[in-house]
Amino acid sequence: MHRKRKPARPSDPMVIARRRAEARAQARDPASWGVDREAVALPANAAIEAVADPRGRIGRARRRDVFDMFHDRGALSRGALEAVRRLQDDIAVLHRTHAGGGDLSPRVDVCRDPGDFTQRRLRAGWRVAAALELAGVASARLLRSLCEADVALGRAASWREVAARETGETLADAQGATLRAACENLAGAYAMLDRRASRAASQAAMAEAGSSLR
């Protein structure tokens, strides 16, 4: 019977030191910790949606929310759900939040220009303001209240309480209809912004082509 040989360990002290340094750096970096698979599998976390990487490791998790619930019931279109996720992503950048929701301070890579993060944050803020303005005042107030509580503060608010406070609706069906309409309005707002960006890109390309012909 042939025994499997264990992979040879590096004998070069420099290689050993480098690998140990990389392991220590990875252990200090919360982004590399991933998500505890056993914790996500607990019954109490049944509403958590885990996202795995190509190797099958859970890299991040997101608690399913009211927007998922409406989409699963067929009451919210895929486009509206994606629009809400775009808004949440930009709010996360705007408020410099992390997946855990506890640390609101920015993570700055000393190898990169800090101004790059500032520019991304400014662009995210512009997109949030532009999309909510096009969605309408009532829709903007409702969606901002829900998304900021969940994404920026790291705790999901009771969507019915938010709907009652922001819209004055107290009937359950009316609250659901108002929130779904707000999501669809947001989807229309993003579609308009995308068309504007596409036209601007086309005009810039045409102007560049024209200048190169001169």
10-residue stretch averages of pLDDT, the chain, 214 residues long? 58 73 59 46 44 52 79 94 93 65 40 64 92 96 89 74 92 94 96 92 80 66
Quote the pLDDT of residue 54.
55
Q: What is each CA distance from 161 to 49, 102, 146, 184, in whole angstroms?
A: 24, 23, 10, 20
Quote the pLDDT of residue 121.
87
Quote the pLDDT of residue 23.
67
Quote the pLDDT of residue 78.
95
CB atoms < 10 A from the CB of 131, how many?
Answer: 23
Quote the pLDDT of residue 104.
39
Amino acid at position 28, single letter: R
CA 143, CA 85: separation in Å to the nearest integer?
Answer: 11
**184's tokens:** 């669809």
Quote the pLDDT of residue 102.
39
Query: pTM for the whole thing?
Result: 0.62
